[in-house]
Structure 1
Amino acid sequence: MSTPHRVVVLALPGVYPFELGIPNRVLGSAEGLYEVLTCGIEGSSVRTNTDFAITVEHGPELLSTADTVVIPPFDHHLLSEGLPSAAGAALDAVRPGTRVVSICTGAFLLAAAGWLDERPATTHWKLVPLFRQWFPRVDLDPDVLFVDDGDLLTSAGAASGVDVCLHLVRADHGSEVANRVARTCVVPPWRDGGQAQYIEQPVPEEGRDGTAATRGWALEHLGEPLALTDLAAHANMSLRTFIRRFNEEVGVSPGRWLTQQRILRARHLLESTDLPVEDIAGQVGFATGTSLRQHLRAAIGVSPLTYRRTFRGAVAGVS
């Protein structure tokens, strides 16, 4: 039997206990495919963000042995624009090429270290303004549950840690194993809609409505040829006002957001169904299978056939 993939979870001061346990609960349910260990940055006792501390058996030197490092969130009151020296020393122990995953505020640590410069990332929607102020060089997407940028993955708040860990299992071992893990953990194997559906919109100024309802409506009608004028009309705004408000609230243009949602839905259907590419293209709003192929390749660098084979094994009749 091959050696399990080693995952080292870094428990920082102020760590959130729920999220700290997610990697072990999810990856540890993957039939012995992962070895999940926890380390701290100084001493064996780690104060959590609640009224108890935890004891870890390993120090930061364990990070040098990891195949994947997971950084759970820590109390937002401890966030800083600079990189704390102890945390920086711990990150220095991570070997080049190691896969690194953050949950929620863990992205702040990676950004402070400069690891996310010019790269896509996400974090908890409530912290987006502060993150953008401190780390303008990061391509932040506040609308998704997680971002996979190869060797660096970032996820939104709390339970999105479950989503990104299931994604790791799916990427490493396919949908069948990931689905079994999800059933064991009594969670859905895939959540549609991103974190936009959870974002708390402020009370709009008089005469101004947000775009959240229109985003929800668009997700229910992805298979239709949605024009920006359709979205603006649904939001009861002029096209110019709608585009400006959408960018303010989501951080990307309506057109880019629509494409992102269609690609996410297409990836889910490629993983979970045997539908031909042409049918999937129709369901997610791409005019043709060729259009879906082009968009998928631009987004993740592979064809639908290659993507489906990665997750589900060879499937006849898909190209």
Structure 2
Amino acid sequence: MSAPVVFIDGDQGTTGLQIHERLRGRTDLQLSTLAAADRKDPRQREQALNACDIAILCLPDAAAREAVSMIANPKVRVIDASSAHRTRPDWTYGFPEMATGQAQRIADAHRVTNPGCYPTGAIGLLRPLVQAGLVPRDYPLSIHAVSGYSGGGRAAVDVYEGPNASQALPYQTYGLALAHKHPPEIQLHTGLAHRPFFVPAYGAFRQGIVLTVPLELRLLARGVDGATLHDCLATHYAASDAETTHVQVVPLEASRSMTHLDPQALSGTDDMRLAVFVNEEHGHVLLAAVFDNLGKGASGAAVQNLNLMIERM
């Protein structure tokens, strides 16, 4: 059997470039891309999309939907890195460690939607706790996150790395209309009853994320404490059926000695590190995730899903 053909549609953006770099030189697949002159030619794109075995879409939402509509070949499988299909029930959510059997569902799927970068951290922290009943579905959740500027795509990279980089803000909170596209995705895949409050920000570093979720123990079920929450996360990810899990939970004792979180700590990797911080006196718990927005938060996740899908071919 010949190596499967993988076509990257939109390999000139930050996510697409990293996926291309990761796949270049692999001998277990044939990498297909379009020449610069052909990228905006609908006929060339349609031909490439229907001639491949797996298409990876690294496009804006509207262009991703258009690309899917071009696919007439029923054998073509798709990994969409945009947010166009993340809440669609007919698409498989591409977070292998999220739930028991999820890696297998991805491996068997024809349509896989890559998680968003911020939702990867939020869902990674919250879904096991909500599913176990430790965090009520109607808890009034607030999620705070800061990402490297590459999360803003090429436009943000140009601001921070271009000729006027000295004028770029060192830190900026955005999404102040409180209508960011990620909360519906987070709500759906965690099982929350209500839209969570989400506050994103960019820092003056290229890649990496720190995402935090504060919890008040008085709003949780009687007897639930920081150790209970930590044990639930540790047990969930220790039992992950993904062949190679990229999610680790910091031991509770180790988290007690931590004094800060570095958003760049896992930059250049596909790992995500989860931690639980507890102040028993005040009844406060802080859930935290650290990972690379271009690794486990984007390109790394797409390649992880691709590897699972190739194994089933």
TM-score interval w.r.t. the shorter chain?
Answer: 0.3 to 0.5
**Higher helix proportion, which one?**
1
Q: What TM-score do the two structures reach when normalised by structure 1?
A: 0.34
Q: Which has the higher contact order (CA 8 A, sep 6+)?
A: 2
Q: What TM-score do the two structures reach when normalised by structure 2?
A: 0.34
